[in-house]
Chain A
């Protein structure tokens, strides 16, 4: 099986070992900026612009005293908390942490190789803050002895209180942070400049800030002064979830909610609230013991960073609902089904109020992320969130969950879920080998048990009160918490689990454990203190103490390790599913072929998506680089979004192939679909194996060549035939192919190996209106297509073992001294003759459009044509024209003498003359006169006859055309070196794409000068259609006569003619072959280029052949053909 994903992987790791991390928009490419964002929980719009070592001093809250002396200020600084760490500046945030950040300072923002894995962006660890610049009210530069630069920052802490409090007895305390920068003067100055700029930019956001903060319960909680005796306040508290209406789960006495609230009140008063919150050592502790009900939502928002998302676009939730009001979607249907089964035990969700909120949040999210839409389990998670937070808050937190904290969990393939189950299993194997062995032995698959824990964040597994405690820590410390808790559950229940021998027993052990989490962990202990420890407390201790070694880092490592096998598993599942659903047509292809088609189809789509994304981003990056001049501008903002989108295993991937994709798809399978005139190659040199370069584009993303086909890929041709094929396969008429379309299309070409089917198929491709007739233009186009398809040689005719053996044998027996280029060349060249014979015969046997008038028409057209030849200004050139038309007549020598050299220039000259001398209208009239009032056409039986009259054509349709789609082969190595793989055809001059004046504008064939190339010849033929017509009619009459004669006088000759038909295999008769050789000259001679290459040979060859086959004549060949007419009309 051709596995593109592993190739991509391999290729990526070759370039950048950390690429393998690519897991989701958030986890992939852990460039510095990504880690930075994760570390401080910032929105994706932020990038680390500046960083500097600094010491911050958190002043204890004091009333603002603008007139304080320097001495007083120094004293303040001494009194506060001092922290040393790193200060970071992004576009809109000032962040500080004492915890060593997880990336090297030297790392550039765009390279992903420069990080050391300490926290892997695990979340806001250490002491510090994440401060939106718009929340900074004022920055003063202080003069300090120890530091060159010291800044005093005053925040908008308590923003909402201040204005309403004009009569305030106690004005909201000012929050002040003093920052001393440690660095060179230059570095400090640069930082300050950056900060100044950011502050200016932030001024406009204060309005948003107000709005966002107003929804935070802390603002209400800390409203100064007016608390009444009963603890009620004048103003209405902000929405802190359904709990405010339906009570919060659990016994709040038992939860000690009041004292928790008091502690948090103090903390927030002293160290800032919501956006201005500063993380002190107590912060983490307060979270570990469980958040108080009314603050829970806000702290979740703060620690997860969804608060900052909300700050960025406070109205997004409401706007989204308004925008999609009344619209339907699959997601909405699915949401609707689940609304009644989301935490149904909580009273809030037995009411329309709660259901309504749940519906709105899930619906709004499904619109903002249509790729994820809605996944079961989101209903449970959101329901839980809604108990503690407003709809808008839950909406943003869900967003953060899906995008960052639970990457890929809810995607349409759920790869994140599967991946983390693999990770979890491997952690169990590592940390609890005995239990693991037991599970393996008793055939219990752990992941079926643990999956719901992760997918719904323990909410459905544990009693709600405990699940929320897990969530408290989870939002602060990140996904590793889920693993730690899971491991702890297994460790604590280890002994009982070792007794469980099947899924049922295993599940019931855990079920009963979860139901007893509030019981004492040591009920029999003498020690009262120990007795008071609940099982849940024990669980937390085990999780965070015993499994403290489980870090974001180890999770990331494990994810990297298992990612491929998980994705491959999903992809092969998807592939099996998809192939099985391909319907009856697909049965005509082998399973292997279907597999390869699937790979090719999605491989092309994947690559194209990658490429367009890279190109888009590169363009964007260049634009940005152009616009921005300052040195601080970050290069490569793209790293966050790149790579791996479109991979089937990751979720919704493209499923429709447009025409360009189709070209690329064909170019991967068929040699003829590769262009002969590639655009100048980029600087990229594909030195690696072809395999790698096939997907090379996704790798070389730094030195983007902006080539639409990706460096190293063969550039596809663009030929009318391909367009026709595309339209034929596009049965849904939406200008795009599905895998189903492609399979059906190919099944019809390759499926039966039946020549009649193949001929019919080809005919229908050119029967545009489906009336069973192909007109003059169509005939020419068919011949063009035949030449196009054969210009790199014929599939199956190149090896002696193929269907061409008969011919090869013949040639081996009769080495032809006059064809020095070898057998293959001969075959291919003879095919050329076949095509020219094909054109001729088509015209010979074409029907007029009104068959009942046949005879008179022929006469008419003949006389018409001859009546006024001069009106076309071509009379003078009649000699050359004669050559062109006089296929296989006794006159060939004349035409061949110059091997057609003059005829080409003459042809173009002629048209020039005509265009000059005759008015346009006149010229058009002349063209119309080609098929004057009697256009001609061929029918399918005629087409069949003509094809079967020629062995090469027959074989083309029987085998080499179907075989030219090499579904399962590795693409021919020749693909990339397209120029060199051209057979002698190219030398003869037919390797060029031909102009397609009427179809599409995308032709790359502008390279072919008018008048040259096949089309030129054909055009000339058309131009001189009157004479052609005359000639054709004349021959048809003759053929008809002969036919009649044969029928009457030579009834026994049928057999002879059979033999003639099989001619090439029969050493005796060579008339047909001779005709074809001469026909070749028709085409050959038409090309000036061909002349220059082979002119002299051509002359001698012609002579020799002439003398070799003196008896070759039109009448003979005509009789051969006409006898076949009989045959096929039987």
Chain B
């Protein structure tokens, strides 16, 4: 893996996850950070904080992830978390149309209130609940474009938000767009890698050599987060090491 390569410039990027409760924000983060999927045991007060590195060919991005809490009333706190975020993952559940409305709200909110250059990715999660994802880990693309289900499909397809609809919206608003499954890992790493690639060089905090200013405690934490084992089911082209 990319760990072996010579030290590359590293910079931290603050990322905030927003979206309706239960769309799978925490699950996405857990998948990204620990390559794991389980019921969330961690009690979240306000927002959970996690970090994960993403190695790009030319640099290392350390994501500082704020996973905002699920309860509706915590939405008032959201501005605190996105205030100086450089990137955001706005998540909806593609089996629940109202969650896309909520997601659009968050997009509008970020575009208006967050830092100007913020990179936003719109993510439709729970792709595994749709038919087209049955082959595990197939990246979103041509086949899912043949888009199903405005209405009920009796063959177990729970999709309620068509790819085309969300994609059109994302294009209009200039957002990255993915459909993912935190459950089987489809497209999860891709989302983060795409964000990492989309962060303009200029908006990165003064690039540092690895660990240059990090306290020992910090490093300990990073290590514990980073040592990921097990095969990743998706081969990301950009070569994100995480």
Q: Which residues of A are found within 8 Å of B215, using beta-carbon distances?
A: 496, 499-500, 505, 508-509
User: Which of A104-112, A270-278, A445-453, A995-1003 forms part of the interface with chain B?
Assistant: A445-453
Residue of A nearest to B41 (CB): A341
B192 contacts A by Cβ under 8 Å: no
Q: Is the CB of A380 within 8 A of B43?
A: yes
With A448-B80, A499-B213, A576-B109 in contact, is A334–B71 under 8 Å at CB? yes
Which B residues, 58 to 74, have Cβ-Cβ distances below 8 Å to chain A? 62, 64, 66, 69-74
How far in angstroms is the closest Cβ of chain A from B14?
A: 7
Give the contacting residue for B218; candidates A379, A443, A451, A504; CB below 8 A. A504
How far in angstroms is the closest Cβ of chain A from B48?
A: 10
Residue of A nearest to B81 (CB): A448
B75 contacts A by Cβ under 8 Å: yes
In terms of DSSP, what is the predominant structure of the interface of chain A?
helix
How far in angstroms is the closest Cβ of chain B from A206?
A: 42
Which among A375, A504, A581 has the greatest number of chain B C-beta atoms within 10 A? A504
B47 contacts A by Cβ under 8 Å: yes
Q: Is the CB of B45 within 8 A of A504?
A: no
Q: Which residues of B are found within 8 Å of A421, using beta-carbon distances?
A: 80
B227 contacts A by Cβ under 8 Å: no
Q: Is the CB of A508 within 8 A of B76?
A: no
A502 contacts B by Cβ under 8 Å: yes
Q: Is the CB of B69 within 8 A of A376?
A: yes
Residue of A nearest to B208 (CB): A501
A190 contacts B by Cβ under 8 Å: no
How far in angstroms is the closest Cβ of chain B from A654?
A: 17
Chain A, interface size category, equals 35 or more
Q: Which residues of B are found within 8 Å of A576, using beta-carbon distances?
A: 108-109, 112-113
Give the contacting residue for A508; candidates B40, B45, B69, B221; CB below 8 A. B221
Q: Is the CB of A573 within 8 A of B45?
A: no
With A573-B76, A576-B112, A581-B105 in contact, is A455–B45 under 8 Å at CB? yes
Q: Which residues of A are found within 8 Å of B40, using beta-carbon distances?
A: 341
Q: Is the CB of A451 within 8 A of B213?
A: no
How far in angstroms is the closest Cβ of chain B from A402?
A: 13
Q: Is the CB of A342 within 8 A of B43?
A: yes
Q: Is the CB of B75 within 8 A of A577?
A: yes
Q: Is the CB of B80 within 8 A of A344?
A: no
B1 contacts A by Cβ under 8 Å: no
B217 contacts A by Cβ under 8 Å: yes
Give the contacting residue for A377; candidates B45, B72, B80, B213; CB below 8 A. B45
How far in angstroms is the closest Cβ of chain B from A436?
A: 16
How far in angstroms is the closest Cβ of chain B from A329?
A: 14
Q: Is the CB of A460 within 8 A of B43?
A: yes
With A445-B84, A451-B46 in contact, is A505–B41 under 8 Å at CB? no
Which A residues, 430 to 460, have Cβ-Cβ distances below 8 Å to chain B? 443, 445, 447-448, 451-452, 455-456, 460
Q: Which residues of A are found within 8 Å of B113, using beta-carbon distances?
A: 576
Q: Which residues of A are found within 8 Å of B70, using beta-carbon distances?
A: 376
How far in angstroms is the closest Cβ of chain A from B49?
A: 6
Q: Mark B65-97, 1 if CB is under 8 A from A, else 0.
A: 010011111111111110110000000000000
B3 contacts A by Cβ under 8 Å: no
Residue of A nearest to B50 (CB): A504
Q: Is the CB of A508 within 8 A of B218?
A: yes
Q: Which residues of B are found within 8 Å of A507, using beta-carbon distances?
A: 49
A379 to B43 CA separation, bound complex (whole angstroms): 9
With A340-B41, A341-B41, A455-B45 in contact, is A580–B218 under 8 Å at CB? no
A910 to B49 CA separation, bound complex (whole angstroms): 85
Q: Is the CB of A508 within 8 A of B217?
A: yes
Q: Is the CB of A443 within 8 A of B84?
A: yes
Q: Is the CB of B214 within 8 A of A418?
A: no
With A499-B215, A500-B215 in contact, is A445–B76 under 8 Å at CB? no
Q: Mark B210-242, 1 if CB is under 8 A from A, else 0.
A: 000111011011000000000000000000000
Q: Is the CB of B46 within 8 A of A455?
A: yes
A451 to B40 CA separation, bound complex (whole angstroms): 21
Q: Which residues of A are found within 8 Å of B221, using beta-carbon distances?
A: 504, 508, 511
Q: Is the CB of B101 within 8 A of A581?
A: yes
User: Which of A63-71, A409-417, A822-830 forms part of the interface with chain B?
Assistant: A409-417
Q: Is the CB of A414 within 8 A of B74?
A: yes
Residue of A nearest to B47 (CB): A448
How far in angstroms is the closest Cβ of chain B from A519?
A: 14
A1045 to B221 CA separation, bound complex (whole angstroms): 96
How far in angstroms is the closest Cβ of chain A from B102?
A: 9
Q: Is the CB of A570 within 8 A of B46?
A: no
With A376-B44, A570-B76 in contact, is A505–B66 under 8 Å at CB? no
Q: Is the CB of B213 within 8 A of A452?
A: no
Q: Which residues of B are found within 8 Å of A569, using beta-carbon distances?
A: 79
Which B residues, 98 to 157, have Cβ-Cβ distances below 8 Å to chain A? 101, 104-105, 108-109, 112-113
How far in angstroms is the closest Cβ of chain B from A1024?
A: 58
A451 to B73 CA separation, bound complex (whole angstroms): 15
Q: Is the CB of A447 within 8 A of B80?
A: yes
Q: Which residues of A are found within 8 Å of B109, using beta-carbon distances?
A: 573, 576-577, 580
Q: Which residues of A are found within 8 Å of B84, using beta-carbon distances?
A: 443, 445
Q: Which residues of A are found within 8 Å of B42, using beta-carbon distances?
A: 341
Q: Mark B14-57, 1 if CB is under 8 A from A, else 0.
A: 10000000000000000000000000111111110101000000
Q: Is the CB of B77 within 8 A of A502?
A: no
Give the contacting residue for B45; candidates A411, A451, A574; CB below 8 A. A451
Which B residues, 175 to 205, have Cβ-Cβ distances below 8 Å to chain A? 205
Which among A375, A376, A443 has the greatest number of chain B C-beta atoms within 10 A? A376
A580 to B110 CA separation, bound complex (whole angstroms): 13
B12 contacts A by Cβ under 8 Å: yes
Q: Is the CB of A512 within 8 A of B217?
A: yes
Q: Is the CB of B46 within 8 A of A418?
A: no
Residue of A nearest to B105 (CB): A580
Q: Which residues of B are found within 8 Å of A496, using beta-carbon distances?
A: 215
Q: Is the CB of A344 within 8 A of B218?
A: no
A338 contacts B by Cβ under 8 Å: yes
Which A residues, 378 to 427, have Cβ-Cβ distances below 8 Å to chain B? 379-380, 411-415, 417-418, 421
Residue of A nearest to B86 (CB): A443
Q: Which residues of B are found within 8 Å of A460, using beta-carbon distances?
A: 43, 45
Q: Is the CB of A504 within 8 A of B12?
A: yes
How far in angstroms is the closest Cβ of chain A from B82?
A: 10
Q: Is the CB of B71 within 8 A of A376?
A: yes
Q: Which residues of B are found within 8 Å of A511, using beta-carbon distances?
A: 217, 221
Q: Is the CB of A503 within 8 A of B49?
A: yes
How far in angstroms is the closest Cβ of chain A from B33?
A: 12
Q: Is the CB of A502 within 8 A of B69?
A: no
A581 to B101 CA separation, bound complex (whole angstroms): 8
Give the contacting residue for B62; candidates A379, A504, A577; CB below 8 A. A504
Q: Mark A540-581, 1 if CB is under 8 A from B, else 0.
A: 000000000000000000000000000001100110110011
A508 to B147 CA separation, bound complex (whole angstroms): 45
With A340-B41, A456-B45 in contact, is A503–B213 under 8 Å at CB? no
Q: Which residues of A are found within 8 Å of B213, using beta-carbon distances?
A: 499, 501, 505
Q: Which residues of A are found within 8 Å of B104, using beta-carbon distances?
A: 580
Q: Which residues of B are found within 8 Å of A413, using beta-carbon distances?
A: 73, 76
Q: Which residues of B are found within 8 Å of A379, using beta-carbon distances?
A: 43
A448 to B67 CA separation, bound complex (whole angstroms): 12
Q: Which residues of B are found within 8 Å of A376, using beta-carbon distances?
A: 43-45, 69-71, 74
User: 13 A-B contacts, Cβ less than 8 Å apart?
Assistant: A412-B73, A418-B80, A448-B47, A455-B45, A499-B213, A502-B205, A503-B64, A504-B12, A508-B218, A511-B221, A573-B75, A576-B112, A577-B75
The 9 A-B pairs of least Cβ separation, nearest first, read A452-B45, A512-B217, A341-B43, A451-B46, A508-B217, A508-B218, A505-B218, A412-B73, A502-B12
B-side interface residues toward A, CB under 8 Å? 12, 14, 40-47, 49, 51, 62, 64, 66, 69-81, 83-84, 101, 104-105, 108-109, 112-113, 205, 213-215, 217-218, 220-221
Extra pairs beyond A338-B43, A376-B43, A503-B14 (20, CB < 8 Å): A334-B71, A340-B41, A344-B41, A375-B71, A375-B73, A376-B70, A411-B73, A414-B77, A443-B84, A443-B205, A448-B47, A451-B46, A455-B46, A500-B215, A504-B51, A504-B64, A508-B215, A512-B220, A576-B113, A581-B105
